[in-house]
């Protein structure tokens, strides 16, 4: 897998991949209006490049589309252990973030 990518670009790609649902507009239109890296735009609109492959992999993993998962996993040169580790780390990170958010908004007595 191309490890030269900035982690922030992966994060942005994942977050922005949900914008069409949030704004009820085509993702292509939303992305064209935003000043974001072309790698992110390409991943979101055409599913091309390493970020596009990662995005496709994550969506397939969450949908239990194992044929696509295997295809993307191989394209990204990951093995099953790495894939499970990265996914678990992402889930843990999200849980930690949500715990912080909940703690921040919980009134303290």
For residue range 57-77, list pLDDT tens digits in order: 999 999 999 999 999 999 999
State the Cα–Cα distance between residues 21 and 17, nearest whole angstrom: 9
Confidence at residue 5, expressed as pLDDT on a 0 to 100 scale: 72
E strands of 17-108, at which residues?
Answer: none
Q: CB of 58 within 8 A of CB of 67?
A: no
Instruction: Over range 76-98, report the average pLDDT.
Output: 89
Predicted local confidence at residue 41, as pLDDT? 94
Whole-number pLDDT of residue 57: 95
Q: Output the pTM of the full model.
A: 0.78
Mean pLDDT of 19-28: 91
Q: Is the pLDDT of residue 83 over 70?
A: yes
Dump pLDDT digits (tens) for 1-22: 545 677 788 888 988 998 999 9
Percent of the chain with pLDDT over 90: 57
**Predicted local distance difference test score (pLDDT) of residue 15:** 87
Which tokens in the block code for residue 16? 């922005």
């Amino acid at each position: 897998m191309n490890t030269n990518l900035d982690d922030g670009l992966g994060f942005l790609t994942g977050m922005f991949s949900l914008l069409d649902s949030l704004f009820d507009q085509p993702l292509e239109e939303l992305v064209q209006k935003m000043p974001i890296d072309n790698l992110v735009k390409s991943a979101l609109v055409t599913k091309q490049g390493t970020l596009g492959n990662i995005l496709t992999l994550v969506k397939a993993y969450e949908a239990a589309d194992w044929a696509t998962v295997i295809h993307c996993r191989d394209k990204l040169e990951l093995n099953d252990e790495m894939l499970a580790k990265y996914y678990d780390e992402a889930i843990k990170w999200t849980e930690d973030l949500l715990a912080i958010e909940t703690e921040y908004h919980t009134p303290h007595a």
